[in-house]
């Protein structure tokens, strides 16, 4: 190969390299093609390469296909466009390219500087997020971690291989599936669904694969067009807070236990029962409230001791809790239990339930080394027929339980409207009794006592009546027990004594009263200090001599301190009073106790007189009482005489004093004064 041919080959190779370089630059740096004149330069080099190849073809027959013509003249004309066109295009292209090249160079410099700034910013940004104590990740829509801080990277396990393309669910949970596929809330999916920032509680794993609780905050990550391309997720460790919350919840639960539960039995207390009953009344069609009162618990508590009483209550709570339904509510209120039931409430079903409770309660229990057979009185009130609010239902159930107890206990009782009306009346009486004493609504009536042989009036019993402004004349059987219960009997008894002393003083001074006025003293009055001194003061203030009065005490006094009672009665006798034992024979007295008390008279109770002379037992008891009085040298008087046959029986047995409707019912002070003034021996009607 000649040197000329070699030069042509080298020339062609160089041109080929230049053309290839220009093509590579155009592909790699697309901005190059945008520079003005670049296309002309590229075309010029291609033409020169073509002309150079034609020169080589002249020396190598194998390349004759490059030559269009077969003559030298034709070949020459083929080369002219190549060389001439190539140089012309190169010249024009370079003229146009130089300014664009300088601009491109400037842009490249700016871009390099911008890339340098971006790298610095990336380092700066990384340093900022690395300083954050909470793990932070930028997550793509396919769960890939695009960016994370040091706190997040520290969760990488040292003992497990890390996937090439690490996902958020693998780093946080060591799982190959996303959270939503594993049945947990996925932050990415939640952000996609809502388009806003979300907060989720998750369980993550640390580098040692130990779980801890985090609060995830995931925010949308958008591109410049506003399209969602991922999320920015931060995770705060709240394990300590969760533990604290659990402790607070446990503490709150403990406080609720203290507030709403009875500490002895663990049952709900009355306050919680009321709360649940209020809630039940808002939704229930029917329900029942049962009050379960342990009969005689006070006696058991005092007799066996308070610890034994607590043991009984705990055992009752355990027994009653057995078999409760899920929506039943059982509570303790003192020595009674409250039960709310909503299961198919009917009178028949609540009756059946109450009978089961009575059977459960009545089973024997060993306490304080003794066998006890407790029993209960159960009151039942049903919604809606027995009340529509909490207070009414509870009051009616209490009333029904009281009725069950009055009937002997160990039984159940359904509330009735008639009993409710009676209970309401008693409440009204109890509320008005104090005012009755203060406002002068009480009146003393007198029932004459007569000599059965002569019919002469020998005295009277002072009986209190209540002139109620709405109810009219209230008999003592209705309000005396109330006064005994609420303690007003002391003030009431003092008022009656004062009034009777004032009336007796007038009758005694005028010579009309030849006998005595009998006034009742209650057992409660003997509990008061200064009883004797108080009675003496009333005598002095009224001017009534003690000889004009007779004090009646009941057999229930035997249940008090016998020595104390005997001392008081002896002091009263020393003042000049006579003392009579009222309602004798009703069950409290014994011969020994009767001998110990300084009394002057025995009054035969009307419950025996009423059935004379036909009732054999009543006749035997009456004879025994009269014989006892005669043997002890005591006077005897019978109350409640209503028939001539009763009077004749008493006279035949040796009783010669009496009172009752056969002679007169209780009459007003004015009527009795008229009877005394006219010397009427006895009457059968009021004046």
Instruction: Identify the CATH number of the domain defined by range 426-678.
Output: 3.20.20.450
Each residue of 595-621: b (16+ CB within 10 Å) or e?
eebebbbbbbbbebbbbbbeeeebbeb
Provide CATH code, domain 132-243: 3.30.450.20
Burial class (CB in 10 A: 0-12, 13-18, 19+), 11: middle
Write the pLDDT tens digit of every residue in 234-248: 988 988 888 888 888
pLDDT tens figures, 187-208: 999 999 998 999 998 888 888 8
Domain with CATH 3.20.20.450 in the chain: 426-678
Q: Check residue 484 and give its pLDDT.
A: 78
CA–CA distance, 50 with 59 (Å, rounded to integer): 15
How far is the C-alpha of 264 from the C-alpha of 687, rounded, in Å?
62
Name the segment(s) of the chain with CATH classification 3.30.450.20.
Answer: 132-243
Whose CA is closest to 646, among 633, 659, 635, 636?
659
Mean pLDDT for 634-642 is: 93
The whole-number pLDDT of residue 73 equals 44
Helix 562-574 and helix 531-542, axial crossing angle in degrees, nearest 10: 20
The pTM score is 0.48
User: 77 pLDDT band (50/70/90 cuts)?
Assistant: very low
For residues 173 and 8, what is the distance between their CA atoms, to the nearest angstrom? 69
DSSP string covering 417-481, please?
Answer: HHHHHHHHHHHHHHHHHHHHHHTT-EEEEEEEEEETTT--EEEEEEEEEEEETTTEEE-HHHHHH
pLDDT band, very low/low/confident/very high, at 159 (cuts 50, 70, 90):
low
Task: Convert the pLDDT of each residue in 590-621 to its tens digit.
Answer: 555 667 778 899 999 888 898 888 888 889 98
- What sections of 346-389 are H helices per DSSP? 347-361
Whether the per-residue pLDDT at 468 is higher than 90: the answer is no
Report the distance separating Cα 484 and Cα 493, nearest Å: 10
**Nearest CA among 208, 244, 247, 239 for reference residue 134:** 239
Q: How does the average pLDDT of the chain come out, rounded?
A: 80
Q: By mean pLDDT, which of 79-88, 369-378, 564-573 is the weakest?
A: 79-88
**pLDDT above 80 (res 117):** no
Residue 1 confidence (pLDDT) above 80: no
Angle between helices 417-438 and 476-486 (to 10 degrees): 70
Q: Higher-confidence residue: 437 or 18?
A: 437
Helix (H, G, I), strand (E, B) or coil at 408: coil
pLDDT at res. 125: 76
Q: Are 141 and 168 in contact (CB under 8 A)?
A: no
Answer whether residue 284 shows pLDDT above 80: yes
- For helices 270-283 and 390-406, angle between their N-to-C axes, nearest 10 degrees: 120
* CATH no. of 261-415: 3.30.70.270
Q: What b/e string do you get for 397-426 counting C-beta neighbours within 10 Å, with b at 16 or more? A: bbbbbbbbbeeebbbbbbbeeebbeebeeb
Q: Is the pLDDT at 277 greater than 80, yes or no? A: yes
CB atoms near residue 219 (< 10 Å): 14
């Amino acid at each position: 190969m000649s040197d000329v041919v070699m030069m042509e080959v080298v020339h062609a190779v160089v041109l080929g390299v230049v053309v290839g370089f220009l093509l590579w630059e155009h592909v790699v740096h697309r901005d190059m093609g945008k520079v003005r004149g670049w296309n002309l330069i590229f075309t010029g080099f291609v033409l020169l390469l073509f002309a150079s190849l034609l020169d080589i073809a002249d020396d190598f027959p194998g390349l004759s296909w490059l030559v269009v013509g077969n003559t030298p003249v034709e070949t020459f004309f083929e080369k002219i466009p190549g060389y001439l066109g190539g140089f012309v295009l190169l010249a024009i292209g370079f003229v146009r390219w130089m300014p664009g090249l300088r601009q491109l160079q400037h842009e490249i410099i700016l871009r390099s500087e911008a890339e340098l700034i971006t790298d610095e910013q990336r380092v700066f940004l990384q340093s900022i997020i690395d300083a954050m104590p909470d793990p932070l990740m930028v997550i793509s829509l396919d769960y890939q971690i695009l960016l994370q801080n040091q706190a997040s990277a520290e969760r990488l396990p040292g003992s497990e291989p890390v996937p090439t393309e690490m996902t958020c669910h693998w780093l946080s949970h060591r799982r190959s599936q996303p959270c939503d596929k594993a049945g947990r809330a996925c932050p990415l999916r939640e952000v996609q669904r809502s388009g806003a920032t979300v907060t989720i509680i998750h369980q993550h794993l640390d580098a040692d694969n130990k779980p801890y609780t985090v609060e995830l905050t995931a925010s949308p990550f958008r591109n410049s067009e506003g399209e969602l391309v991922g999320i920015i997720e931060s995770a705060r460790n709240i394990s300590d807070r969760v533990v604290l919350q659990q402790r607070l919840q446990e503490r709150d639960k403990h406080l609720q236990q203290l507030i709403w539960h009875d500490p002895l039995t663990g049952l709900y207390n009355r306050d919680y029962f009321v709360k649940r009953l209020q809630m039940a009344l808002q939704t229930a069609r029917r329900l029942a409230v049962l009050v379960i009162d342990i009969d005689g618990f006070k006696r058991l508590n005092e007799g066996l001791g308070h610890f034994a009483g607590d043991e009984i209550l705990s055992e009752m709570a355990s027994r009653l809790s057995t078999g409760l339904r899920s929506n039943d509510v059982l509570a303790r209120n003192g020595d009674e239990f409250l039960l709310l039931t909503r299961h198919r409430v009917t009178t028949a079903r609540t009756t059946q339930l109450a009978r089961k409770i009575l059977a459960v309660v009545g089973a024997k229990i060993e306490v304080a080394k003794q066998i006890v057979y407790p029993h209960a009185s159960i009151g039942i009130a049903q919604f809606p027929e027995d009340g529509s609010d909490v207070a009414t239902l509870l009051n009616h159930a209490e009333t029904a339980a009281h009725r069950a107890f009055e009937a002997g206990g160990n039984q159940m009782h359904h509330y009735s409207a008639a009993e409710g009306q009676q209970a309401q009346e008693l409440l009204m009486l109890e509320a008005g009794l104090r005012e009755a004493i203060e406002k002068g609504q009480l009146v003393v009536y007198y029932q004459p006592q007569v000599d059965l042989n002569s019919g002469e009036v020998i005295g009277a019993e002072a009986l209190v009546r209540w002139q109620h402004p709405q109810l009219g004349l209230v008999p003592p059987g209705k309000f005396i027990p109330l006064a005994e219960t609420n303690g007003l009997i002391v003030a009431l008894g003092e008022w009656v004594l004062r009034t009777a002393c004032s009336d007796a003083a007038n009758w005694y001074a005028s010579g009309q009263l030849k006998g005595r006025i009998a006034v009742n003293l209650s057992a409660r009055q003997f509990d008061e200090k200064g009883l004797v001194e108080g009675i003496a003061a009333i005598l002095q203030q009224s001017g009534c001599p003690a000889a004009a009065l007779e004090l009646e005490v009941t057999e229930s006094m035997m249940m008090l301190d016998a020595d104390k009672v005997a001392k008081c009665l002896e002091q009263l006798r020393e003042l000049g009073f006579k003392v009579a034992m009222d309602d004798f024979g009703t069950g409290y007295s014994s011969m020994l106790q009767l001998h110990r008390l300084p009394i002057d008279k025995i009054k035969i109770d009307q419950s025996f007189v009423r059935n004379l002379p036909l009732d054999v037992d009543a006749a035997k008891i009456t004879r025994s009482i009269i014989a006892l009085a005669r043997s002890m040298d005591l006077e005897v008087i019978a109350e409640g005489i209503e028939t001539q046959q009763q009077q004749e029986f008493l006279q035949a047995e040796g009783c010669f004093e009496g009172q009752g409707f056969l002679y007169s019912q209780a009459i007003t002070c004015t009527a009795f004064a008229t009877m005394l003034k006219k010397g009427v021996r006895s009457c059968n009607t009021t004046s």
